[in-house]
């Protein structure tokens, strides 16, 4: 049984067991992570009827994402895993929209991109294809995608000429387009904790160290100390 947390774009939390989502929560708001995420985790745990002692592990989306929002989810996940003495696994947050694309039948015959908002008129992106079935998972990883390039950050105009899913498509429609057969809403996809948990459960090779994928420096700068005026 896994608890998953992601705060790479909006925020989400979920409890998953044997391929079933027992409880989930998400918000698309990008400025309230610190206020709502901890209570949301308590809510999904209560709805799933589980305690920290019953979890097998905690899963956290590691980005890429801007600093502040991503840090909230990571700090919470690390804290809970330490308090409950549970293992902590990281999953690239781009893997979630990629998994959703595969579940819609994309990527079987061609590679595709996942592109999400990186601000500064850029996107975080990765190049994916459908992953081969994992015999050890009993075929449960059919809806998994394999990251073959990335993650990267850069202008949408500089991405490979492939169809893309993720909110970056909506932000930069002149540079990015959906793959053939993708639903219209694929241009608004962001990461979801339930999908990250399902990936961590069915595809262990997708797990990463639970460390943030910061692909560039923070917008925040250390103030330069002013020199004292001399007489």
Res. 222: pLDDT tops 50: no
pTM: 0.89
Q: Which two tokens stand for residue 82?
A: 């330490």
**Span 120-138, pLDDT tens digits:** 999 999 999 988 765 444 4
**Span 67-92, pLDDT tens digits:** 888 999 999 999 999 999 999 999 99
Q: What is the pLDDT of residue 141?
A: 46
Q: What is the pLDDT of residue 57?
A: 98
Backbone angles phi, psi at 86, to 5 degrees: -110, 150
Which domains does the chain show, CATH number per domain? 2-92+191-208 (3.30.420.40), 95-188 (3.30.420)
Q: What is the pLDDT of residue 108?
A: 78
What is the average pLDDT value for the chain, to the nearest integer? 90
**Span 23-63, pLDDT tens digits:** 999 998 777 777 789 999 999 999 999 999 999 999 999 99
Q: What is the mean pLDDT of residues 85-108?
A: 94
Beta-strand relationship, 207-208 and 88-91: antiparallel
């Amino acid at each position: 049984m896994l608890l998953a947390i992601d705060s790479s774009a909006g925020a989400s939390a979920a409890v998953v067991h044997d391929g079933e989502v027992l409880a989930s929560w998400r918000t698309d708001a990008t400025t309230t992570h610190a206020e709502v995420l901890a209570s949301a985790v308590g809510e999904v745990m209560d709805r799933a009827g589980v305690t920290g002692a019953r979890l097998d592990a905690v899963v956290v989306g590691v980005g890429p994402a801007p600093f502040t929002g991503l840090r909230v989810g990571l700090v919470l996940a690390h804290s809970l895993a330490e308090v409950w003495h549970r293992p902590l696994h990281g999953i690239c947050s781009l893997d979630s929209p990629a998994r959703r694309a595969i579940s819609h039948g994309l990527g079987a015959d061609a590679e595709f991109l996942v592109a999400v908002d990186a601000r500064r008129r850029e996107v975080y992106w990765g190049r994916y294809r459908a992953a081969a079935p994992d015999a050890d998972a009993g075929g449960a990883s059919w809806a998994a995608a394999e990251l073959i390039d990335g993650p990267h950050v850069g202008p949408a105009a500089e991405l490979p000429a492939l169809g893309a899913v993720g909110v970056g498509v909506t932000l930069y429609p002149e540079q990015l387009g959906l793959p053939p057969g993708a639903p219209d809403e694929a241009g608004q996809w962001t990461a979801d904790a339930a999908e990250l948990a399902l990936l961590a459960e069915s595809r262990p090779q997708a797990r990463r160290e639970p460390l943030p994928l910061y692909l560039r420096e923070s917008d925040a700068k250390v103030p330069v100390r002013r020199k004292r005026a001399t007489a």
